[in-house]
Amino acid sequence: MGTISQLHDRLRPPADRIESEEAAVAAARRLAAGFRRQSSERDINRILPFPELDALSLSGLTGITVPPEYEGLDVSNALLAEIVAIIAEGDASIGECLAIHFAALEGLRLHGGEDLQRLLFSRALSGDRFATASFPTDSITTLPLGHRIDGRSAQAPGVLFADWLVISGAADNQLLYVNRRSEGLQSVDSWDGFGQRTNGTALLVAENVQARADAAVRQGAPAAAMTALLNAGVDLGIARAVLSELQETSAVPAAAGTLIVGIEAAAALLERAGHRLDIAQINSGPAIADAEFSATAAQAHASELALRTATAIFEIAKGDTGGIGLNLDRHWRNARIRALGGKLERLHAKAAAHYSHSWEI
């Protein structure tokens, strides 16, 4: 299979194989409980969660979206979003990395060639992790037998923890699957923000990095709906984490009832969007637009909810919630950094466009 198959494997113990949805949920809850114990310390001191990400890989969770024909598990999208939310409740940065990983595998499932799928799905089952990165169009040259990458990418989360990178920016609108340890490719820790301090944000510097044609995958729907759904899962996890920590420090006041209802509503929106995405994955046409609308609405609601919950809890609970030792403000910082750059405005506009042109009541 050309250059791809010649790339060396990363050595790690074999990952467990998860055989059922119930086992996947149980593994997610067990991992999240462990991630939560030191999540505040990791945030304060910016300790990157390499051991935690390796534990995630070894659990088998990173392989649950591999299709059954490649020895994976046929997980519903609603459950997938819930698993991301569970992990994000334990640590939002790890949840974000898992969401990015699942989205990267979705593009491979939808549009990857058989040889590429066989290779990379087997690596996912072994515990390899995937992340995405975007290069300027003039950094990627189309060659007769593939692509050459030269230049610097935009910074992106999850890159420092990834074994494989899904690179966008090719002029022919293809995604390039590249091993992060490819010759000529370097990752630079470029985190510079007040939230999501441990999500492995980095930029890539490429010098004559080769990606053969059999490592290219075209972009297409319904991958966008999957990305929105998984992002909603991360934000729902952040909102849940705020209330979980509040329960440990004091009784949850009655005034928090509105936030609790909002969290339940977000979970319902995720479930609805997940079911619609299930349908879109086996039907084309209007089903894809419906899935995108529902997933976008779920993401917009969850993003607003995470911000509202992380902000309101200080006013509702009062007391010692502002103490430095509790570090509860990290949840607001995480939610805020994820909503920066006009994301909510774009989500609202996208949802309105889908409602106007695609939605049927």
pLDDT digits (tens, 9 = 90+) for 135-174: 999 999 999 999 999 999 999 999 999 999 999 999 888 9
Q: Could you report the per-residue pLDDT of 194-236, keeping only the tens digit for each?
A: 999 999 999 999 999 999 999 999 887 678 899 999 999 999 9
Residue type, 258: T
pLDDT at 282 over 70: yes
Decide whether 3-218 matches 223-357 in CATH topology.
no
223-357 CATH, one of 3.40.50.1000, 1.20.140.10, 3.40.50.20, 1.10.1740.10 = 1.20.140.10
CATH number for the domain running over 3-218: 2.40.110.10
- Tokens 């998860």 belong to 18
Q: Where are the domains of the chain?
A: 3-218, 223-357
Predicted confidence at residue 175, as pLDDT, reads 95
CA atoms within 13 A on the CB side of 155: 10
Query: How far apart are the C-alpha atoms of 292 and 313, rounded to whole Å?
Result: 31
Q: Could you report the per-residue pLDDT of 232-277, keeping only the tens digit for each?
A: 999 999 999 999 988 876 677 777 899 999 999 999 999 999 999 9
What integer best gives the mean pLDDT of the chain? 90
Predicted confidence at residue 247, as pLDDT, reads 81
Residues 356, 358, 84, 325, Cα dihedral to 10°: 0
Predicted confidence at residue 2, as pLDDT, reads 37
CB 5 within 8 A of CB 119: yes
Query: How far apart are the C-alpha atoms of 242 and 229, rounded to whole Å?
Result: 21
Q: What is the 3-state secondary structure (H, E, C) of the chain?
A: CCHHHHCCCCCCCCCCCCCCHHHHHHHHHHHHHHHHHCHHHHHHHCCCCHHHHHHHHHHCHHHCCCCHHHCCCCCCHHHHHHHHHHHHHHCHHHHHHHHHHHHHHHHHHHHCCHHHHHHHHHHHHCCCCEEEEECCHHHEEEECCEEEEEEECCCECCHHHCCEEEEECCCCCEEEEEECCCCCEEEEECCCCCCCCCCCCEEEEEEEEEEEHHHEEECCCCHHHHHHHHHHHHHHHHHHHHHHHHHHHCCCCHHHHHHHHHHHHHHHHHHHHHHHHHHHCCCCCHHHHHHHHHHHHHHHHHHHHHHHHHHHHHHHHCCCCCCCCCCCHHHHHHHHHHHCCCHHHHHHHHHHHHHHHCCCC
Q: Is the dihedral of CA 103, 32, 272, 302 positive or negative?
A: negative
For the chain, counts of helices (H) and of strands (E): 12, 8
The pair of three-digit structure tokens given for residue 58, joined into one six-digit string: 């070894």
Three-class SS state of 300:
helix
Query: How far apart are the C-alpha atoms of 154 and 305, rounded to whole Å?
Result: 28
